[in-house]
Structure 1
Amino acid sequence: MDVITFGESMVQFNPAKTGPLRYVHQFDKTVGGAESNVAIALARLGHQVKWVSRLGDDDFGLYIRNFIRGEGVDTSSVTFDPVYPTGIFFKERYNASDPKVYYYRSGSAASQLEQAQLKESDIIAARFLHITGITPALSPTCRELIYYAIEVAKKNNVMVVFDPNIRLKLWSENEAREVLMDIASKCDIVLPGIEEGRLLTNEITPEKIAERFIQNGAGTVVVKLGAQGAFCHSQDIKEYIEGFKIEHVVDTVGAGDGFAAGFISGLLRGWSYRDAVVLGNRVGASAVTVTGDVEGYPYWSKIAPDHSEEILR
C-alpha cells in the first residue's frame, strides 16, 4: 500500500444558483472531506490508498462509502455507527470563487473515531501516512488517534505528511495553534497554507513560516501559496515554485488537498521535492475548475498521456 489516511467525510450540497441559501431550492449532492479528497486524487494518479473512517449507519453514510470506494480507494476499514449520524455541509455561493461553507457535523459518527479502528498493521504496510489538523479537532478520541498513528508510523519508518487544514469553527485559535504545532513537530513533512502558516507561527513570509516549522521539529515544509504556487524548504532546496495557471477559477475548495495528493504522488515516484511540488501545483490547480471538491482531480493518463514521468520536468 502506498498511502493510508483517515478522517471525516461528509455529504456536500452545492447550490444550483448563487445567493443566500434561504433562496436556494435545489442542490447537487456530492462528497467532501480533506482526507478522502487526498485519497481519491492519489487513486486517480495510480496509487494504492486506504481511507479509514466512521460513518453513520444511514443512507448518507452508505453513499459516501460507495462513492469513495467507487473511486478506487480501499474502504475496507470504514465502519458504520448505529447511533451517531453522518455529517453534512452546504456551500453558499456569490460571485467569488471562495464559497461560504456551513457545517452540520457536531456529534457525527466520525467524531467517535478511536484507536481500535485503525490497525497498526495497516499503518506499517503503508509508505506514507497522511493526516490533517481537522481530525484532532473533532473529539478527544480523534486527537488520541492522531498521536497513536504518528507514533506507530515513526517507529516503523513510515513517512508522515501533515496538512494543518485549520477549521476554527471546531476549536479556538489558541487551542488549534498549541495542538497543531505539537503535531507538526512530530511529522516528516508539513504542508501549511500561507494563512495557516501565519496563524500557527506568527510569521509573515513563507521563508520565515517554513523556518519556524523546521525549528519546531518538522523535516520538510512546503508552504502553499494558491495561484502563486508554493515555497519548499527541505535539506536540498529553499525555493519558490511557480503555480500552474488556470484561466477561470470556479471553486477553490479542494485545491489544497489536490496539492497534497500530487506532492505525495511525486515522492512515491521517486521524484525530487521540487518536481513533487510541480506535480502538486498541477493537481491542485485542476481542482479549482469545478464546483465539487474531487471532480476536477485528474487521472495520471491525463497528466502524462504517454506515461512518461519526464513530461513534468
Structure 2
Amino acid sequence: MENGSDIVIFGAAILDIPAGPVDITLLRAGSVPADRITMNTGGDALNEATVLAKLGKPVRLVSKVGDDMAGRVILDHCRQYGIDTEHILVEPGLDTGVNVVLVHPDGERSFLTNRNGALRRIYREDLRGEVLKGARIFCFASIFVFPWIGKKELASIFKDAKAGGLILCADMTKCKNRETVQDLREALLYLDYLFPNLEEAQMVTGKTDPDEAADAFLECGVKTVVIKLGQKGCLIKSKDIRALVPAYSDAVCVDTTGAGDAFAAGFLYGLSEGMPPVECARFGNAAASAAIEEFGAVVGVRDLAQVYERYEKLVR
C-alpha cells in the first residue's frame, strides 16, 4: 500500500461511553451513581486498528461514521495514532454509532446501542477493490454485526480478498437470527483464521465443547479456528494443530470491553511478524491481558514493549 499498511481491518468504528461499576439490577427511574463515566473510541474494527497502531503496525481501517461530533472524535483518534483513514466513509445526515457500556462490578458489561447509527448502515459496497491492493492481511471484524452484510455478501467479500492472495481473518459476535455454521459455509471456506469466543462458537455450531465447536468450523472449510476462552486463554485448532494456550495469569481485570478485539489484534500482529499460529495466540493473550486492566476498550494496551513483556512471560 502507498503508506506501507499491509493490514486492512473492516468493521465498526464507534464512540463508547463506559460507566461503572454499575449493578444493572438497580437501574430504575431516578439516578444511579457510578465511580467513573468516560468517553472513548470503540467498535471491533477500530479497537483492533488502535491496538495494532500502538504495537507499531501501519494499519488501514475501512468503516463509516456520520458528519457529527462523534465522527470527528473517531477521525481525530485515528490521526493521532497514525491509522489510515482514507477509506473511513463520512456520511452526512447519519449518526455515528454510540454505545453506552455498563460495566459490572466483575468487569463484565452490558451495552445500550444505537440501532439507527452508522454501524447499521455499512454495506458490501463500502469495501471497494482498491482498499485491499497491496495488503497482506485482511480482517473482517465482525461477522453478524452488520444487518446488510449477510452470508452472500460475506462470501463475496471473502472471495475477493482470497483472490488477491491475502491472509483472511474474521472475528464474530453473537448470531442474531439463529444462523448456523452450515448457513455460513459458503463464506467460511475462504477463511484462514476465525476468532470466535466460546459463547459465539456454541451458538452457531450447537456444540458446547470447545473442541467439538472448533471441529464444526473446520468441517466448513476454516483453516484454523481460535476459540477465545476468557480467563482460560484460548483453544487453537487446525488439521495439524491442537493447543490450549493459557491466558496471562497476573492480569487484574477492571473492564473486559474490547478484550476480544485486543486478542485479535495481537494475533494479527503475530501473523504480520511471521510467528507460528500458537505464538500468535500467545501474543493475542498478552494483548488481551493488557486491555482488561484499564477502564474503556483497549485503553490498557500502551505499546509493544508492554505486550511483548507479557508475551515473553507466557513463553517461559
TM range (shorter): 0.7 to 0.9
Counterpart contact for 2:16–2:98, Cα < 8 Å = yes
Match of 2:301 in 1: 297
Q: Please, which of 134, 158, 164 is the counterpart of residue 166 of structure 2?
A: 158
Counterpart contact for 2:234–2:246, Cα < 8 Å = yes
C-alpha offsets along residues 116-141 of structure 1, whole Å, 9 cap, x if unaligned?
A: 4323122132111101335x543325
Match of 1:13 in 2: 17
Taking structure 1 as reference, are residues 154 and 17 closer, same or farther at Cα in structure 2, changes over 3 Å only? closer
Q: Is 1:122 aligned with 2:131? A: yes
Taking structure 1 as reference, are residues 74 and 223 closer, same or farther at Cα in structure 2, changes over 3 Å only? same
Q: Please, which of 252, 257, 274 is the counterpart of residue 253 of structure 1?
A: 257
Distance in 1 between residues matched to 2:43 and 2:195, nearest whole Å? 17
Task: Show the 5 A alignment for 1:70-219.
Answer: 70-104=80-114, 106-134=115-143, 136-140=144-148, 146-166=154-174, 171-172=176-177, 174-175=178-179, 180=184, 182-219=186-223
Taking structure 1 as reference, are residues 309 and 72 closer, same or farther at Cα in structure 2, changes over 3 Å only? farther
CA drift of 1:182 comes to 4.6
Q: Is 1:42 aligned with 2:46? A: no
Distance in 2 between residues matched to 1:217 and 1:69, nearest whole Å? 37
Which has the higher mean CA deviation after the structures are superposed, 64-73 or 189-198? 64-73
Counterpart contact for 1:84–1:108, Cα < 8 Å = yes
Amino acid at match of 1:39: A
Taking structure 1 as reference, are residues 59 and 122 closer, same or farther at Cα in structure 2, changes over 3 Å only? same
Structure 1 residue runs without a partner (length 5+)? none
Counterpart contact for 2:145–2:173, Cα < 8 Å = no
Q: Please, which of 232, 244, 262 is the counterpart of residue 236 of structure 2?
A: 232
Which has the higher mean CA deviation after the structures are superposed, 181-190 or 294-303? 181-190
CA drift of 1:24 comes to 4.2
CA drift of 1:96 comes to 2.0
Taking structure 1 as reference, are residues 290 and 182 closer, same or farther at Cα in structure 2, changes over 3 Å only? farther
Say which SS state the counterpart of residue 279 (structure 2) adopts: helix
Say which SS state the counterpart of residue 73 (structure 2) adopts: helix
Amino acid at match of 1:190: L
Amino acid at match of 1:161: C
Amino acid at match of 1:149: I
CA drift of 1:312 comes to 4.7
**Percent of pairs identical after alignment?**
26
Distance in 1 between residues matched to 2:53 and 2:61, nearest whole Å? 11
C-alpha offsets along residues 248-294 of structure 1, whole Å, 9 cap, x if unaligned?
A: 21111211111111111111111111111111111011111011102
Distance in 2 between residues matched to 1:260 and 1:240, nearest whole Å? 16
Amino acid at match of 1:294: V
Distance in 1 between residues matched to 2:313 and 2:107, nearest whole Å? 33
Distance in 2 between residues matched to 1:10 and 1:309, nearest whole Å? 33
Distance in 2 between residues matched to 1:60 and 1:196, nearest whole Å? 29
Distance in 2 between residues matched to 1:180 and 1:140, nearest whole Å? 15
Corresponding residue pairs, total: 305
RMSD (Å) for aligned C-alpha atoms? 2.6
Match of 1:285 in 2: 289
Which has the higher mean CA deviation after the structures are superposed, 272-281 or 111-120? 111-120
Distance in 2 between residues matched to 1:2 and 1:46, nearest whole Å? 12
Taking structure 1 as reference, are residues 141 and 268 closer, same or farther at Cα in structure 2, changes over 3 Å only? closer
Amino acid at match of 1:255: A
Distance in 2 between residues matched to 1:154 and 1:257, nearest whole Å? 22
Say which SS state the counterpart of residue 236 (structure 1) adopts: coil
| TM-score using structure 2 length | 0.87
Taking structure 1 as reference, are residues 247 and 62 closer, same or farther at Cα in structure 2, changes over 3 Å only? closer
CA drift of 1:209 comes to 1.2
| TM-score using structure 1 length | 0.88
Distance in 2 between residues matched to 1:141 and 1:220, nearest whole Å? 23
